[in-house]
């Protein structure tokens, strides 16, 4: 089987399995680069070809190199399972070790400073970015929301979110500022169905694109003189919850994580909160 044909089938299977479009695009780009130096026949691909491919990327950051290795490894594992190759040459290649970074999310004060520079008449942006911060949703999940997914019954305000792996969850909307903004936003929204966040100012366009949202957020951060990525809004929300004593199992459910290990990467207690817990434990121990 030709290498390119196998890659096309692999990507089609990823889409069929509801993998994120971001993952499919990244894998397609990485595997396309592999075809530039690999033989046309998949069965002729060996460890030497992979070493040559990865050597060309030695100048890249470890995280980028690890991602490219993951794309190739996933493809070859799939090819082996499909009986397209007799052995997986990726098993002969040492994997790049990536040490998880130490996260320092921005504080609520810093994020509020960014939200404060959004013009009042840009209601869509006010709702979108506060929603990301106050719920910890992924950007893709937020942009996929429909008007029908919003329930604003008093004392039962919530969202229905479709997360990774087509797993649905319900998110409580407990922030009064966010709820008030959402109510105002929906009153002005001309449609009772369809995408919640549309591209045009009159809300008549298609869903907002991730790149557009990222550019808008970067502009607001620049105006506010605060360094904060879109993804850090999610991390900041998780960290705020854990510092207020919310359990990891609840945070895991709110963020839509399948495994608690994923939650642990986001939920990082502040030193002050950790010290208070240690002191409280020490006092209990002395009294016992």
Confidence of residue 18 (pLDDT cuts 50, 70, 90): confident
Q: Annotated active-site positions, please?
A: 138, 164, 231, 234, 257, 266
Do the Cβ atoms of 31 and 68 come closer than 8 Å? no
pLDDT band at residue 286 under the 50/70/90 scheme: confident
Please check whether residue 185 is in contact with residue 150, taking contact to mean a CB–CB distance below 8 angstroms: no
Give the CA radius of gyration of the chain. Answer: 23
How far apart CA 269 and CA 273 sit, in angstroms, is 6
- Environment class of residue 3 by beta-carbon count within 10 Å: exposed (0-12), middle (13-18) or buried (19+)? buried
The pLDDT of residue 203 is above 60? no
Q: How does residue 188 score in pLDDT terms, banded at 50, 70 and 90?
A: confident
pLDDT tens-digit map of 68-99? 999 999 999 999 999 999 999 999 999 998 87
pLDDT exceeds 70 at position 248? yes
Residue 266 pLDDT: 67
Residue range 155-169, pLDDT digits in tens: 899 999 988 878 899
pTM of the model: 0.65
Position 204 scores a pLDDT of 59
**d(C-alpha 188, C-alpha 172), whole Å:** 23
Higher pLDDT, 184 or 258: 184
- Which phi-psi region, left, alpha or beta, contains residue 222 (left: φ > 0; alpha: ψ -120 to 50)? alpha
Average per-residue pLDDT for the chain? 88
Percent of the chain with pLDDT over 70: 90
> What pLDDT is attached to residue 264?
77
pLDDT of residue 83: 95
| Furthest CA-CA distance within the chain | 73
| φ, ψ of residue 170 in degrees (nearest 5) | -110, 130
- Which of 134-148, 160-174, 187-201 ranks highest by mean pLDDT? 134-148
Look up tokens 């691909």; give the residue: 45
Q: For residue 269, name the pLDDT band (cuts at 50, 70, 90).
A: low
Determine the Cα–Cα distance for residues 242 and 136; give it in Å rounded to an integer. Answer: 13
């Amino acid at each position: 089987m030709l290498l390119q044909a196998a890659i096309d089938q692999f990507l089609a299977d990823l889409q069929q399995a509801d993998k994120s479009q971001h993952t499919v695009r990244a894998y397609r780009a990485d595997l396309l680069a592999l075809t530039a130096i690999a033989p046309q026949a998949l069965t002729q691909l060996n460890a030497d070809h992979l070493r040559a491919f990865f050597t060309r990327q030695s100048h890249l950051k470890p995280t980028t190199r690890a991602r490219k290795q993951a794309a190739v490894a996933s493809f070859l594992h799939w090819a082996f399972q499909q009986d397209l190759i007799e052995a997986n040459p990726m098993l002969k290649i040492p994997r790049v070790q990536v040490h998880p970074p130490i996260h320092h999310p921005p504080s609520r004060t810093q994020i509020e400073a960014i939200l404060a520079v959004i013009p009042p008449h840009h209601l869509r942006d006010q709702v979108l970015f506060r929603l990301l911060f106050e719920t910890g949703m992924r950007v893709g999940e937020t942009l996929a929301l429909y008007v029908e997914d919003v329930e604003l019954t008093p004392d039962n305000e919530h969202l229905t979110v479709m997360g990774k792996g087509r797993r649905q969850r319900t998110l409580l909307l407990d922030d009064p500022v966010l709820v008030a903004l959402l109510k105002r936003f929906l009153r002005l929204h001309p449609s009772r169905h369809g995408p919640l966040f549309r591209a045009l100012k009159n809300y008549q366009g298609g869903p907002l694109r991730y790149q557009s949202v990222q550019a808008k957020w970067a502009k607001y951060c620049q105006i506010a003189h605060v360094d904060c990525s879109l993804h850090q809004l999610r991390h900041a929300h998780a960290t705020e919850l854990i510092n207020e004593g919310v359990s990891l199992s609840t945070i895991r459910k709110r963020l839509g994580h399948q495994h608690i290990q994923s939650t642990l990467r986001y939920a990082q207690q502040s030193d002050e909160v950790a010290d208070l817990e240690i002191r409280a434990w020490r006092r209990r121990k002395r009294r016992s």
